[in-house]
Structure 1
Amino acid sequence: MFSRDIGIDLGTANVLIHVKGKGIVLNEPSVVAMDKNTNRVLEVGEEARRMVGRTPGNIEALRPLKDGVIADFDVTEAMLRYFINKINVKGVLSKPRMLICCPTNITKVEQKAIKEAAEKSGGKRIYLEEEPKVAAVGAGMDIYQPSGNMVVDIGGGTTDVAVLSMGGIVTSQSIKMAGDKFDWDILQYIKKEYKLLIGERTAEDIKINVATVFPGSRHESMDIRGRDMVSGLPRTITIESEEIQKALVESAELIVQAAKQVLEQTPPELSADIIDRGVILTGGGAMLHGVDKLLAEELKVPIFTAEDPMDCVAKGTGIMLENIDKLEKRSVN
């Protein structure tokens, strides 16, 4: 039995794994539940996510990736090993080759940490590719032509904005502002305005069901429960789209500014292509209500959300795995 090549979207919020010839076989939260007393891994992925904010003192639900990079090396390695064992791609005598995506601006040290974690978890040769490039490929863009393609990849920990041409990144920005920061903004807003403490999962539910970043484009309301900061007792309140939109203004503006900076640094010939072709939104954050309208209004170019935006990076790794032998030649691993 031979091992298969695999592509990994090692995200701050989710890990997706694409197996060559099979497609996306795993999509689980990047969460690990550890026993603090023994340092033993108890659960990984979806099972661990269910424990966030609900565990006794000795059990800790950790997110080993922060802002798109490894914050806890050992826990990341344990998580990767668990997922790779779960999908069962190792051969009897051989290990899989891995293509892993990372944000555009990470340091050599951070790149090395990702490679080492992947090697220790059972990878044979590790290739790193920049996330917006892989996302663009996964969204169906032909980035190998001499024309400009622009992608805004809004993940959990980072937003990567890039203009691509001839298979490479011409100009890019990576900011530590994405889905997790929106959750945090919502959490802080409710704490400040209503003196109510809510958990990460409730904040995420609000983001999905009620939130918008474009004024006046959504009119939903939702009952949420939390702990009253004054009485210490559980309390239910109703929140509405309009107020959440105001809570997200500053963070949404950071994404707009990053996109504007990338456009300002883009050569004029490629800018003309982007006006014709528009900008593609990828990543889980692309599903945030109103983000496409906001960018279209601010950038004055057409904005399109990719099909299955959350899967774009994993799909892109799949397409690149088909040409892994070309990467093999280029690699100076």
Structure 2
Amino acid sequence: MSPVRRLVALDLGTARTRSLSGHAIADRPSAIMRRASGVADVVRPIRHGMVADPRACVRLVRLVLQDTRLYDGRPPARVLAGVPIAASPGDRRAVHAAVSEIAGCEVTLVEEPLAAAVGVGLDVLDPQPCLVLDVGAGIVEAAVIGAGAAVDAASLQLGATTAEGLPPYALESVVEMTAGLLRRLPAASRSRGLVVTGGGAHQELLLSRLRTALRLRISVAPQPQHATIRGLMRLCLQPALAEGLGLRAR
């Protein structure tokens, strides 16, 4: 009898890549070492949340899936991998190809703000929309989630972040982007407030500027850097919810 196969969630980020199989989250830098002409160089396969170097991304995925085998050595049955809402069809194909090559199993792509909303326990099937701001190292996305989909969204690609979080120019742009999205949301739909996720969610200056500009209830997700990966695993474990969101393997 063949062993029962396992489920894997994968969040390929610009700065950090996180994976989850079972109960343990593995977290590593989104970087690999490449040697050319005897010289070792650090390569970062992901930029702005998108695959910038497909072959290096395959190597990164191999390392990440090896991390998950430390906790569970069974072969994967299915991988749910996050992608930005702003990812083009080509960007999505690059992620799917890299993960499929190494995992050798069914791969489903999920837009990251939607996965983050699931990860913090929001009812994403509710027709009453919720607003999520996902603050990553290379891309920030604000999304209106309602009736199982991102019905409106805006994205900002970042050149770099600092140890303190978003640099001043990006901070103001994120606030303006989120305010613009909020203005397109019916007033009656703002009661659920804004949930901030991602590794940059704890930046106090960002939260203060959002509260001042939006005049909206702002909450930070518990362990916001893990919201996306936890949402991906929840979708792995709850097929009915995934089906309600229209998620199918590609």
Q: What residue is the counterpart of 2:248 in the other structure?
A: 331
Deviations 1:120-168 (A, max 9, x none): 1124111011111011111121111121200000011110100111111
Q: What residue is the counterpart of 1:154 in the other structure?
A: 135
TM-score with structure 2 setting the length = 0.90
TM-score with structure 1 setting the length = 0.69
CA distance in structure 2 between the aligned counterparts of 1:133 and 1:62, rounded to whole angstroms: 29
Q: Which AA in structure 2 matches 1:254?
A: S
Contact between 1:16 and 1:24, CA under 8 Å: does it hold in 2? no
Calculate percent identity across the aligned residue pairs: 24
CA distance in structure 1 between the aligned counterparts of 2:62 and 2:192, rounded to whole angstroms: 40
Q: What residue is the counterpart of 1:33 in the other structure?
A: 33
Stretch moving more, 126-135 or 23-32: 23-32
Contact between 2:137 and 2:161, CA under 8 Å: does it hold in 1? no
Q: What residue is the counterpart of 1:80 in the other structure?
A: 61
Unmatched segments (≥5 aa) in structure 2: none
Contact between 1:24 and 1:315, CA under 8 Å: does it hold in 2? no
Q: Secondary structure at the match of 1:105?
A: coil
CA 1:330/1:303 → structure 2, altered by over 3 Å: closer, same or farther? closer
Q: Tell me how far 1:90 sits from its aligned partner.
A: 5.6
Question: Could you list the runs of 4 or more consecutive aligned residues of structure 1 that deviate by over 6 angstroms after TM superposition?
Answer: none
Q: Which residue, out of 246, 249, 254, partners 2:168?
A: 249
The structure whose residues are more often helix, as a share, is 1
Q: Does 1:262 align with 2:181?
A: yes
Q: Which AA in structure 2 matches 1:119?
A: S
Larger Rg: 1
Q: Which AA in structure 2 matches 1:16?
A: R
Alignment of 1:139-150 (within 5 A): 139-150=120-131
Contact between 2:107 and 2:249, CA under 8 Å: does it hold in 1? no
Q: Tell me how far 1:332 sits from its aligned partner.
A: 6.1
Alignment of 1:157-172 (within 5 A): 157-172=138-153
Deviations 1:234-255 (A, max 9, x none): xxxxxxxxxxxxxx33211110
Q: What residue is the counterpart of 1:8 in the other structure?
A: 10
Pairwise CA RMSD: 2.0
Q: Does 1:286 align with 2:223?
A: no
Q: Tell me how far 1:293 sits from its aligned partner.
A: 1.1
Q: Tell me how far 1:182 sits from its aligned partner.
A: 2.8
Contact between 1:23 and 1:315, CA under 8 Å: does it hold in 2? no
Unmatched segments (≥5 aa) in structure 1: 39-57, 184-203, 214-247
Q: Does 1:137 align with 2:118?
A: yes
